[in-house]
Amino acid sequence: MKASAIYEIIMCAVLILLQVLLMNQISLFGIGTPILYVYFLTKLPMGSNRFYVITLGFIVGFIIDIFLNTPGMNAAATTIVAVMRKPLMNLFFSKDDEFEDFVPGIYRSSGAFVRFVVAMVLLHQSLLFFIGAFSFFNLTNTLIRIGASSLITLVLIFAIDSLMYKKVASEQ
């Protein structure tokens, strides 16, 4: 098994545990909840097989659904985000960045990475909350929840990515 696959499995397990045990207990004014497991999809290498990414997205969402008792909401949202990952990468990253082992990061391609993560998080949160609401009846409340959850999720993702990079940089 390649070292990158082991790293991906460990990262996936840690993010799922963080989401289930810690993040779902956090509520920003009773409106926003950080949804950190979407970070996993942003940190996969650009050259990852599309079927592999979609399968991982579904599995991660399904595991979250099992723990949180949300029948299919997270699996659906995460699978759709996994499908849209490659087109979003092509939109935000230059063709020079696109090689097999390139892993997007805040210090490698900061502007493109920030735009890419914002798009991924907003897409995921929108899908998740609209699936959860299952209507457009209370649109204002749903949009506020999307905005608050996206904001806190983005802050945490950029903080984690910054800390991981500094840790890697200090080891070299």
CA distance 111 to 12: 25
pLDDT on residue 126: 94
Closest residue by Cα to residue 40 from 6, 16, 73: 16
pLDDT tens, position by position, 8-24: 888 889 988 988 888 87
Could you give all domains of the chain from N- to C-terminal order, each with its CATH number?
Answer: 3-171 (1.10.1760)
Residues in the chain where the model's pLDDT stays below 50: 167-172
* Average pLDDT value for the chain: 85
Within 10 angstroms of residue 151's Cβ, the number of other Cβ atoms is 15
pLDDT on residue 53: 92
String of DSSP letters for 28-81 = BTTTB---GGGHHHHTS-TT--HHHHHHHHHHHHHHHHHHHT-SSHHHHHHHHH
Closest residue by Cα to residue 63 from 17, 119, 1: 17
